[in-house]
């Protein structure tokens, strides 16, 4: 009845256990913010410490989960799904910003991460290597706005 591809051949109306779990994760992630994962402007993202490396791993994992949930939300019918997707996109953008330089920079070295490498040592003799551009979030935001206008 919900239009999911996981409906059983017997026509049962109860959602599958996997669908219930996915819906639970969707609800909880929509209510969570970066601070709920211990990430913020004061967070250490340096590669020189175990804590900084752990924060990077948490941030990257959070980005992956948010992108997966964005795909799920975009596949849902209705304007509410687009609003939820835009909210998830905002959180993803915030995490990306933190990884690109929003974390604390201890002593001017290694606190900022760009493309998985410390920005202070990203490239010799020039500007730090920037993270590869992610066109998916940009395309998603544009698509969501266009669908909302239609």
**What's the confidence (pLDDT) of residue 79?**
84
Q: Is the pLDDT of residue 32 over 60?
A: yes
**What's the confidence (pLDDT) of residue 103?**
53
First-to-last alpha carbon distance for the chain, in angstroms, is 25
pLDDT grade for 78, boundaries at 50, 70 and 90: confident
Question: SS3 sequence, 37-67?
Answer: HCCCCCCECCCCCHHHHHHHHHHHHHHHHHH
pLDDT grade for 77, boundaries at 50, 70 and 90: confident
Question: 37 or 113, which is more confident?
Answer: 37
Angle between the N-to-C axes of helices 79-97 and 135-149, in degrees from 0 to 180, rounded to the nearest 10: 150
Q: What would the pLDDT profile of 85-113 be if each residue is shown by its tens digit?
A: 999 999 999 999 999 986 554 443 444 44
Average pLDDT over residues 123-148: 51
Residues 46/52, Cβ–Cβ less than 8 Å: yes
Residues 115/121, Cβ–Cβ less than 8 Å: no
Average pLDDT over residues 135-149: 56
Q: What would the pLDDT profile of 9-27 be if each residue is shown by its tens digit?
A: 455 567 899 989 998 999 9
Residue 16: phi and psi, rounded to 5, are: -70, 160
- Rounded to whole angstroms, the Cα distance separating 141 from 145 reads 6
**What's the confidence (pLDDT) of residue 12?**
56
Question: 3 or 142, which is more confident?
Answer: 142
pLDDT grade for 137, boundaries at 50, 70 and 90: low
């Amino acid at each position: 009845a919900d239009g999911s591809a996981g409906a059983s051949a017997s026509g049962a109306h109860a959602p599958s256990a996997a669908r219930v779990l996915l819906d639970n994760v969707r609800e909880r992630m929509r209510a969570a913010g970066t601070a709920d994962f211990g990430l913020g402007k004061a967070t250490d993202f340096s590669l020189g410490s175990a804590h900084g490396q752990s924060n990077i791993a948490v941030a990257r994992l959070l980005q992956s989960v948010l992108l997966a949930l964005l795909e799920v939300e975009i596949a849902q019918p209705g304007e509410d799904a687009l609003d939820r997707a835009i909210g998830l996109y905002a959180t993803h953008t915030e995490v990306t910003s933190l990884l690109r330089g929003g974390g604390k920079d201890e002593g001017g070295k290694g606190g900022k991460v760009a493309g998985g490498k410390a920005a202070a040592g990203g490239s010799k003799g020039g500007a730090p290597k920037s993270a590869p551009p992610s066109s998916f979030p940009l395309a998603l935001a544009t698509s969501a706005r266009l669908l909302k206008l239609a």
